[in-house]
Structure 1
Amino acid sequence: MWSSIKKLFTFGGSKPDCGSKCKDPQICLDKLQLVVDNETDPEKAAQILEQIKDCKMCTDCYEQNSCLKDLLHNKIERKAVPQDLIDCIKSKLKEEGS
């Protein structure tokens, strides 16, 4: 998912001029991914979002990925994994660990 978004940040190998303080788009993308995936605490997430608010490209990236994640979360049907499959996987892992 992020590989397509990364293309937004590369124009002939140079950094885009998005009229912001975004000095390193790759670092920005990495931070945004943590926010979108809820892998950072709320205070840090708020700091990251504050840092990108003046960069249209970064805020667009964040909004697109948030919408995509919400869409997938709401549209994908969750199904239970059969217990025999779980047991089989655990057995294989034990065999490999021996």
Structure 2
Amino acid sequence: MVSEAEKIQKKTSCEHQTDCMKLVQLIVDGQATDEQIVQFKQNMDKCLPCEKGYELEKCIKETMQLRLEKKCIPSNLIDCIKQKIKGL
């Protein structure tokens, strides 16, 4: 008889790690589509490196949001940046 732990055993290496981490970034940044999120969650259920990578990136983002101080930007600086971007 197969135990529950054996059924859920995840792979310990990811053959698509670069693509998976790009997807993790999209998810953590809130830019992933619903389809991408579903695809990644299905993969994460089977892949330990993807699960750990997602958890790490999520923790980093949450920590940065708590630790970084938000400051108002002067409108003249915003206008200057916009003008320089238009000139590119």
Q: Could you say whether these structures have the same fold, taking a TM-score greater than 0.5 normalized by the shorter chain as the test?
A: yes
How far residue 67 of structure 1 moved from its aligned partner, in angstroms, is: 0.6
Query: For 1:27-77, what per-residue CA distance to the aligned partner results, in whole angstroms no more than 9, with x for missing partners?
Result: 111211211111113443133122122211110010010011011112211
Is 2:31 aligned against 1:39? yes
- CA RMSD of the aligned region, Å? 2.4
Task: Indicate the residue corresponding to 2:48 in structure 1.
Answer: 56
Q: Gapped runs of 5+ residues in structure 2?
A: 1-9
SS at match of 1:46: helix
Task: Indicate the residue corresponding to 2:18 in structure 1.
Answer: 26
Which letter maps to 1:60? K
Cα 1:36–1:77, aligned 2, differ >3 Å: closer, same or farther? same
Instruction: After TM superposition, list the pairs within 5 Å mapping 1:61-80 onto structure 2.
Output: 61-80=53-72
Q: TM-score, normalised by structure 2?
A: 0.70
Aligned residue-pair number: 79
Query: For 1:8-28, what per-residue CA distance to the aligned partner results, in whole angstroms no more than 9, with x for missing partners?
Result: xxxxxxxxxx72684322111
Bigger relative contact order (CA 8 A; separation at least 6) = 2
SS at match of 2:63: helix
